[in-house]
Chain A
Amino acid sequence: MLTEIEYQLVNHYQHEMPMSPTPFADIAEQLDIDEAKVISVLKSLTERGIVSRVGPVFQHKKVGASTLVAMSIPENKLQTVADIVSSYAEVNHNYERDDDINLWFVVVAPTQQNIQQVLADIEKQTGFPVINLPMEQDFHIDLGFAL
C-alpha cells in the first residue's frame, strides 16, 4: 500500500521533523533522495488522505482548551445530528461508536468558556443533551503511530 519512501517518511517523521528553515531538504538528505521527491511524495500522501497535515500537535492543556463529548442519539436521527455537530469549526474527530452513547467528538477552542458556548449551542441546535468529559489526566505516550 505504501512505497518504500512513503513508509520511511510516515514511520520516521511523525514525532521529530528537522527543525530548520528547509525541513524537507533535510529529510531528503537523511533519506538520500531529492528534496523534490520528498515534497511530491508528501503531497501525494496528503491528497490520498493518508497524511492529514505536517505540523504541530499542541498540548491542549497549555494551548487552548479541549474536551471529549458524548451524545446518545436515536439511529434514525444520527446522521442529521452528526452533520450539525461536524459543522462546527471547533469539532474534530466526530465518530459513531457502537454503544448506547453512540456519538463521540472532540471540541477544541481557545478557552473553557468558548467550549461551554459551543456545547450549549450544540444542545440547542440538536435538541439532545451532551455529556462533557474533559481530560483530567494525560498519561503521556510520546510516540507517533508505529506502522
Chain B
Amino acid sequence: MNYIDAFRDPAVAKQFVRLIAEQGRALADQGRRVHIMEVCGSHTMAIGRYGIRELLPENVELISGPGCPVCVTDPGYIDAAIALAGKGAILATFGDMIRVPGSTSNLTQCRVSGGDVRVCYSPSAAIEIAQSHSDREIVFLAIGFETTIVPVVSIVDEAIRAGVRNVSLLTAFKLVPPALHALLADTEIKIDAYLCPAHVSAIIGSQAYEPFAADYHVPCVVAGFEPLDILYGVNGILAQMLKNEARVENQYARVVRRAGNPKAQARMAQYLEPVDAVWRGIGVIPSSGLGLRPEFAGYDAEKKFGMPVHIGQQHAGCRCGDVIKGKLRPIACPLFSSVCTPDNPIGPCMVSAEGTCAAYFKYALRDVQQGGET
C-alpha cells in the first residue's frame, strides 16, 4: 500500500496547496474567477473525501460534471428493467442502480414486491447466474462509461463461447466526450477548464480531449483519483490559465496513454455501435451512447423481448439535470437535504455513491450554508 501512500503524502499536498494559492492569487489580481469542471464521479467523491474544496482559493471553483453513469440513467431505463422483471426475468445489476428512481418505482421496490433483482460485483456473475438458472432469462443492466463498457460487454463474449443463450444486456452505455462537447456548446454553462477523468482516459486516451482545447480554448488536464493527483491537476490547470494556454496535459501518465487502450477500443468496436443516448437532465445527445450491433440482437434485451426503452418521467421538482450540467450547486436545489436525502433520494445525483448531491451531503462542511447558483 506504499504505492497509495505516495499519492497521499501530506507534505507534498501542502506544497501543492501553496502553489495553487499563489496562482489563484495571481488570477484574482487579474480579476479572474476559474470554474473547473471535474467530469468524473470518482473525482467528485475523492474531492469530498479528502476535503479538497476547502484547500482551494476563493476564486477557484470545482464544479461537478455528468460523470456518474448511474446519475445520468433516464427513468425510462429503470421502467424497462422493472417491466422485464415483471415478465419473470432475473435482473443482474451493479449495486447503485437498485435505488435509482424510475417514473413511478425503483428496483428496490420491484424486489420487495417479488421481482428477482440481484446485485453483482462483477459482470461475470451474470454468466454464473445464467448457467445455474437455465430455465430463466437473465438481463444484465448494462450501464457505464468507457471504463465499464468493456468488462460488461465481455458478458456477450463469454456467453457466445460458453453457449449460454439465456442472458442479455439492457444497454445504456454512455460516452464521455460527446457529453463534454454538449456542455461546452451550451452557452449558459460557464466552464473554464476540464479536470478529465482518470480511468475513462485510460481507455479513450488523452487525445480524446484535444478538440476541446483546440476549438473552445479550454485547458484539459487528465488526473488520477488520489488527492495529490487532483491537487496536481488543479495546479496544472491554473498554470495554463495564467499563461492563457489551452492544451491537453496528461498528468496521469502512469496509467493513461495518448492513444488510450487499443485492445479495449477494438473490443468495443467489435460488439457495439454508436447510438443516440438519453442523459437524465440533459436530454438526447446524438451518438453519445453505444448499443449492441445487429448481429448480437440475441443478446440485446430490448430486441430479444421486443421491449424498447422509452424516455421516462422525472419528479417535477428534481433539478438533477442542472446539477449534472454544473448549472446548479446541490445545496441550491430546493429539494436538497429537505425532501431529497440519501435515505430518500428523489433524483439520481443523490442515489449513487458517486452522485454530486450524495457527495455534498456526505462530505461537505462549508458549502451547505452558501448559495448555489454557479
Asked if chains A and B come from one complex, the reply is no
Chain A residues proximal to chain B, CB less than 8 Å:
none
